[in-house]
């Protein structure tokens, strides 16, 4: 186990506490850089989605994880970013301009949502953000002159410095990766400066934050605005990746997916957003695989246990019918959330920390080490 | 003119007069204790000063400025810091970041500068960190810098709350029962720190306290309250011998 001896105030400020971090993140970065020349186009596409979901995850972490304000409206912020991009693109606005415009506009709308949210807490805030999401969804469907209603909008391939960047090209992947990395670095900077600490203070005790001179209302609005703006940026990339957007893509289900990203990844660290994004993007092909192959496998098992061909075929068709039920995916998501909240409230990143600690302290690891945090997360979080 | 002054301060909850026309003044550099039985209105006065409650009537002045209508976060910016009776720390953060929140009133950086972590932000952070370290040294908190609050014992949390208030470099500090829940030894430490705060840091102290030995040791003056009214005011021994105070405590 490594002991850090701090000899300078700089040691508390730097992003990489010791050289081990530089090496491991350097390696990760190198792998991400060569990925487009190694991985298949399908996996690359998934990786781009991981970048976009992780960016939204970081945005949601700022608001929910660090400021303690729950939101189920982030699909709406994503939609505003995406539609701003698609609309401005029609008037031949260059990419950097509409990219920034989408972020700024979404940020302003986020701040507007933040104001009524000042008086709401916990479940009431969740309801308020859900209703905001429904309002946006409805506006997108009805404001046909701008959004083209339910028929949706086609998004042209983005052109950067006069070069057309296709949505499957490595350049587009690098763009998404850059946005993600910049978002993470910016957020880390924020967290180690007064604003970030004020966010955490508001999460843990509004009374104490106020008595220390934190303008709670102002910082809540700031948190909403920053979170929304980042989601708006991600929305532009999302629109380009899909190349077609319509209102039914930005439903409550998407907002819930974003919540899953941070819940499963872990709400206390930015690592959680990335891990959660990988989880949510990879679970889709996994579920498809189960849907296609499970019926056959189960029938095979039944046959091995002595079921006749007719019975086995029967079982296969029943399982197949069950697997293609509507809303099964939502139910699976629900079960996943419940299991994580009950058994792993610190998320995948929390689990990774425990595994790391187990090896660092071997053979002295105590299960109780994380118990107190777990109780806290269970009882007091998101009152 | 007094340094800090409350004039005819009242707080009514319906028919209940939690604080009833209380007037008092705190001189610069003194330690003034407020004592009284449970429900006398001691903590309510603190909550009025830090604007958690709005006074029903009356005015509060600090450094000749009327602060009765200031928003809560401005009270801290003026240099009035406080601790709470039932510890209000940021549970899921480290001791260091708790103390750094205490520095909030001195932070001057803009959001965009922080996003980029410009050299000015870095320099400011180091300055804050240095000031926090001075407080850590003052209160002997060195072993706990990187610990999470949620894992610390009560006595230490109490000191950390005091430290957080001191990090804001207050002119006036409000201590709400600094010794509650502390053992004899910890209470002794607390009494030394309170006196050192006055002599070394030049902080004016207004304190609510039940432990009379602590009150006697540190206070310059004492105010006794009962049912929201001032019973007596004066030196610790004068107040303790005042017939009304004896009656209020012993029920004669």
A294 φ/ψ sector (left φ>0, alpha ψ -120 to 50, else beta):
alpha
- Asked whether the beta carbons of residue B73 and residue A200 sit closer than 8 angstroms, the reply is no
**B115 chain-A contacts, CB cut-off 8 A:** 186, 189-190
- Identify the pLDDT of residue A278: 93
Using CA atoms, how far apart are residues A19 and A25, in angstroms rounded to an integer? Answer: 10
Residue A370: the pLDDT is 63
Nearest-Cα distance to chain A for B226, in Å, is 26
Cβ atoms within 10 Å, residue A23: 11
A86 alpha-carbon distance from chain centroid = 22
Rounded Cα distance, B9 and B23, in Å: 6
Query: Which of B102, B103, B126 has the CB atom closest to A9's CB atom?
Result: B126
CA separation for the pair B159, B205 (Å, rounded): 16
pLDDT given for residue A383 in this prediction: 44
Can you give the pLDDT at residue B194? 94
**H/E stretch holding B58:** strand B57-62
- Residues B46-77 pLDDT 10s: 999 988 889 999 999 999 899 998 998 999 99
Do the beta carbons of residue A59 and residue A210 sit within 8 Å?
A: no
**pLDDT at B207 exceeding the cut of 70:** yes
Kindly determine whether residue B130 and residue A9, on different chains, have CB atoms separated by under 8 Å. Answer: yes
What is the DSSP secondary-structure string of A194-233? HHHHHHHHHHH-HHHHHHTT--HHHHHHHHHHHHHHHHHH
pLDDT on residue A381: 47
If you measure CA to CA, which chain B residue comes closest to A202? B90
- Identity of the residue in A196, A200, A211 whose CB atom sits nearest the CB atom of B90: A200
> Is-cis flag, bond preceding A135, omega within 30?
no
Give the relative orientation of helices A122-142 and A74-90 as an angle to the nearest 10 degrees.
Answer: 30
- SS3 of chain A: helix, strand, coil, percent, to 5: 75, 5, 20
Residue in A12, A201, A376 closest to B101 by CB:
A201
Does the distance separating the beta carbons of B109 and A193 come in below 8 Å? yes
Kindly list the averaged pLDDT for each block of 10 residues, start to end, along chain A of length 383: 78 84 92 91 92 96 92 94 93 91 96 87 88 92 85 84 82 94 95 94 91 92 96 95 90 90 88 92 85 82 79 81 79 87 84 85 74 50 45
Mean pLDDT, residues B128-144: 94
Between chain A and chain B, how many beta carbons pairs sit less than 8 Å apart? 122
Distance CA A251, CA A327 (A): 14
Burial string for A208-244 (b: 16+ CB within 10 Å, else e) reads bbbbbbbbbbebbbbbbbbbbbbbbbbbbbbbbbbee
Q: What confidence tens digit (pLDDT) does each residue in B5-38 have?
A: 999 999 999 888 899 999 999 999 999 999 988 8
Q: CA of A224 to nearest chain B CA: how many angstroms apart?
A: 14
Q: What is the DSSP string of A173-193?
A: HHHHHHHHHHHHHHHHHHHTS
Q: Say yes or no: B148 contacts chain A, CB-CB below 8 A.
A: yes
pLDDT: which is higher, B39 or B172: B172
Q: Are the CB atoms for A224 and A111 separated by under 8 Å?
A: yes
CB contacts of B76 in chain A (<8 Å) are 210-213
For residues A342, A345, A350, A351, the Cα torsion angle rounded to the nearest 10 degrees is: 10
pLDDT attached to residue B33: 94
- Cβ density class B221-249: b for 16+ within 10 Å, e for less: bbbbbbbbbbbbbeebeebbebeebeebe
Among B90, B146, B153, B162, which would you mutate to test the A interface (most chain A Cβ atoms within 10 Å of its Cβ)? Answer: B90
Yes or no, beta carbons of B92 and A376 under 8 Å apart: yes
**B201 in contact with A, Cβ within 8 Å:** no
Element (H or E) spanning A88, and its range? helix A74-90
- What is this structure's pTM? 0.90
Burial of A92 (0-12, 13-18, 19+ CB in 10 A): exposed
> Which residue in the block uniquely carries the two structure tokens 């910049």?
A182
Residue B149: both structure tokens together: 């609050």
Cβ <8 Å between B101 and A211: no
Interface probe for B, chosen from A66, A186, A193, A210 (most Cβ of B below 10 Å), is: A193
3-state helix, strand, coil in chain B (%, to 5): 45, 25, 30
Chain B residues 90-129 within an 8 A CB cutoff of chain A:
90-93, 96-97, 100-105, 107, 109, 111, 114-117, 121-122, 125-126, 129
Q: Do A189 and B115 touch (CB under 8 A)?
A: yes
CB within 8 Å: A193 and B114: yes
């Amino acid at each position: 186990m490594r002991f850090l001896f701090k000899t300078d105030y700089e040691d508390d400020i730097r992003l990489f506490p010791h050289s081990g971090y530089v090496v491991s993140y350097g390696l990760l970065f190198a792998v991400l850089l060569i990925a487009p020349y190694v991985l298949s186009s399908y996996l690359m596409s998934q990786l781009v989605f991981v970048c976009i979901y992780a960016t939204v995850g970081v945005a949601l972490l700022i608001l929910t994880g660090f400021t303690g304000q729950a939101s189920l409206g982030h699909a709406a912020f994503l939609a505003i970013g995406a539609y701003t991009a698609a609309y401005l693109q029609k008037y031949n606005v260059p990419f950097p301009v509409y990219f920034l415009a989408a972020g700024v506009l979404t940020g302003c709308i986020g701040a507007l949502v933040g104001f009524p949210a000042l008086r709401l807490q916990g479940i009431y805030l969740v309801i308020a953000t859900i209703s905001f999401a429904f309002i946006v969804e409805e506006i997108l469907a009805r404001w046909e002159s701008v959004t083209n209603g339910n028929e949706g909008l086609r998004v042209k391939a983005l052109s950067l410095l006069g070069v057309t960047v296709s949505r499957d090209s490595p350049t587009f992947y690098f763009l998404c990766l850059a946005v993600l990395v910049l978002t993470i670095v910016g957020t880390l900077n924020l967290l180690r400066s007064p604003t970030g600490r004020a966010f955490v203070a508001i999460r843990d005790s509004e009374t104490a934050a106020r008595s220390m001179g934190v303008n709670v209302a102002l910082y809540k609005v700031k948190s909403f605005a920053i979170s929304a703006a980042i989601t708006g940026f991600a929305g532009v990339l999302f629109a380009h990746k899909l190349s077609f957007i319509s209102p039914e893509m930005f439903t409550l289900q998407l907002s819930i997916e974003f919540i899953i990203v941070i819940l499963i990844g872990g709400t206390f660290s930015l690592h959680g957003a990335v891990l959660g994004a990988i989880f949510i993007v990879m679970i889709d092909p996994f579920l498809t695989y189960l849907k296609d192959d499970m019926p056959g496998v189960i029938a095979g098992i039944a046959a091995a246990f002595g079921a006749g061909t007719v019975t086995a075929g029967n079982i296969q068709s029943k399982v197949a019918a069950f697997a293609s039920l509507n809303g099964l995916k939502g139910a699976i998501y629900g079960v996943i959330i419940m299991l994580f909240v009950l058994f792993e409230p610190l998320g995948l990143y929390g689990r990774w920390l425990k595994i790391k600690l187990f090896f660092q302290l071997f053979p002295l690891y105590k299960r109780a080490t994380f118990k107190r945090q777990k109780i806290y997360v269970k009882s007091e979080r998101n009152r | 003119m007094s340094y800090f002054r409350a004039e005819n301060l009242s707080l009514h909850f319906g028919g209940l007069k939690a604080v009833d026309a209380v007037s008092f003044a705190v001189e610069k550099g003194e330690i003034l204790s407020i004592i009284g039985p449970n429900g006398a209105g001691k903590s309510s006065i603190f909550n009025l000063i830090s604007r958690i409650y709005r006074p029903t009537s009356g005015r509060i002045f600090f450094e000749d400025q009327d602060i009765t209508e200031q928003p809560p976060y401005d009270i801290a910016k003026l240099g009035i810091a406080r601790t709470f009776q039932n510890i209000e720390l940021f549970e899921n953060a480290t001791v260091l970041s708790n103390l750094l929140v205490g520095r909030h009133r001195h932070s001057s950086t803009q959001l965009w500068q922080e996003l980029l972590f410009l050299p000015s932000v870095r320099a400011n952070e180091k300055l804050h960190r240095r000031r926090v370290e001075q407080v850590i040294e003052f209160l002997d908190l060195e072993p706990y810098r990187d610990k999470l609050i949620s894992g610390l014992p009560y006595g230490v949390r109490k000191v950390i709350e005091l430290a957080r208030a001191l990090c804001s470099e207050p002119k006036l500090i409000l201590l709400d029962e600094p010794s509650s829940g502390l053992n004899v030894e910890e209470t002794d430490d607390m009494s030394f720190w309170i006196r050192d705060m006055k002599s070394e840091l030049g902080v004016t102290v207004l304190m609510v306290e039940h432990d009379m030995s602590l009150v006697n040791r540190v206070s310059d003056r004492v105010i006794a309250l009962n049912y929201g009214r001032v019973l007596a005011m004066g030196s610790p021994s004068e107040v303790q011998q005042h017939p009304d105070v004896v009656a209020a405590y012993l029920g004669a």
